Structure 1
Amino acid sequence: MTASVAEFLQRRLKVRHLRLILTLHDARSISGAAERLCISQAAVSKARAEIEDLLGMPLFNRNVGRWEPTAMGQQLIGAARRIMAELDCLNSEFRLIKDGLLGTVTVGTRTTALLPFIAQSTAAFKQLYPHVTISLVDGPLSRLLEQMKKGEVDLVVAPLGEARDSAGFANIVLRRERHVVIASPNHEFVGRDGVTWAQAVQQPWCMPPVGTRTRSHLHSFLARKALPFPSNLVEANSLLMMIALMQETPLLTLVPMGIVPQLKRQELARLLPLPVDGARDPVHLVWQDGLPLPPATRLFRDFLLAQIRRSAKNGDAPANGAADAMTRSGASDRRRASTGKRLAVLE
Structure 2
Amino acid sequence: MAMASFLERNLTLRQLRLISQLGRTPSLSKSAELLNTTQPALSRSLAQLEATLQVRLFDRTTKRISPTPAGLSMIQHADRVLGELMLAEESLRDLRGGVSGELRLGILPVFSAQRLATAMLRASQMLPHVRLMVQTHEIEDLHGALQDGRIDLMLAHAEWTVDLNRVEVTPLYEEFSSIVAAPRHKLALKRSPTWAEAANERWVLPPHRTPLRPKLDRMLSVHRRPGGPHPTDIQADSASLALHLVRSSGLLWATANHYAEDYERRGLVRRIAMPGELLRGPMCAFRLRKEAMNTPTRVFLQCMQEASTGEVEAY
Q: TM-score, normalised by structure 1?
A: 0.53
Alignment of 1:293-308 (within 5 A): 293-308=293-308
**Cα separation, 2, equivalents of 1:295 and 1:113:** 23
- The Cα shift of 1:236 comes to 0.3
How much is the aligned-residue C-alpha RMSD, in angstroms? 3.5
- For 1:263 and 1:125, locate their aligned partners in 2 and report how far apart those are by CA, in whole Å: 29
Matches within 5 A, 1:212-227: 212-223=210-221, 225=223
What are the Cα deviations for residues 1-29 of structure 1, in whole angstroms up to 9, with x where unaligned?
xxxxxxxxxxxxxxxxxxxxxxxxxxxxx
Q: Which letter does structure 2 place at the counterpart of 1:178?
A: F
Q: Secondary structure at the match of 1:275?
A: coil
Distance 1:277 1:242, change over 3 A: closer
Cα gap change, 1:203 to 1:142, in 2 (>3 Å)? closer
Q: Work out whether 1:289 is the aligned partner of 2:289.
A: yes
Q: Distance in 2 between matches of 1:317 and 1:215?
A: 18
Q: For structure 1, which segment, 291-300 or 181-190, has the greater mean C-alpha deviation from structure 2 after superposition?
A: 181-190
The equivalent residue for 2:168 is 170
Corresponding residue for 1:181?
Answer: 179
Q: Which residue of 148, 151, 155 corresponds with 2:149?
A: 151
Matching of residue 118 in structure 1 with residue 128 in structure 2: no
Contact 1:221 1:277 in 2 (8 A): no
Distance 1:179 1:187 in 2: 19
Cα gap change, 1:142/1:232 in structure 2, threshold over 3 Å: closer, same or farther? closer
Could you tell which deviates more after superposition, 245-254 or 297-306? Answer: 245-254
Equivalent in the alignment of 2:36: none
Return the alpha-carbon distance in structure 2 between the equivalents of residues 193 and 253 of structure 1: 18
SS at match of 1:241: helix
1:96 CA displacement:
4.2
Q: Distance in 2 between matches of 1:166 and 1:145?
A: 13
Structure 1 position 137 matched with structure 2 position 135: yes
In structure 1, what is the Cα distance between the partners aligned to 2:197 and 2:187? 10
1:190 aligns with 2:188: yes
CA contact (8 A) 1:111 1:158 kept: no
- Preserved CA contact (<8 Å) 1:101 1:129: yes
Structure with greater Cα Rg: 2
The structural deviation recorded for 1:136 is 1.3
Distance 2:224 2:144 in 1: 40
Q: Quick one: distance in 2 between partners of 1:165 and 1:200?
A: 37
Letter in 2 for 1:270: R
Aligned to 1:256: 256
Relative distance call for 1:286 and 1:306 in structure 2 (3 A) is same
Q: Which letter does structure 2 place at the counterpart of 1:177?
A: E
Q: Deviations over 1:81-118 (max 9, x none)?
A: xxxxxxxxxxx9987444x3544221101251534432
What stretches of structure 2 of length at least 5 have no aligned partner?
1-90
Quick check: 1:116–1:258 contact (8 Å CA) kept in 2?
no
Indicate the SS of the match to 2:131: strand
Distance 1:151 1:258, change over 3 A: same
Percent identical pairs in the alignment equals 21
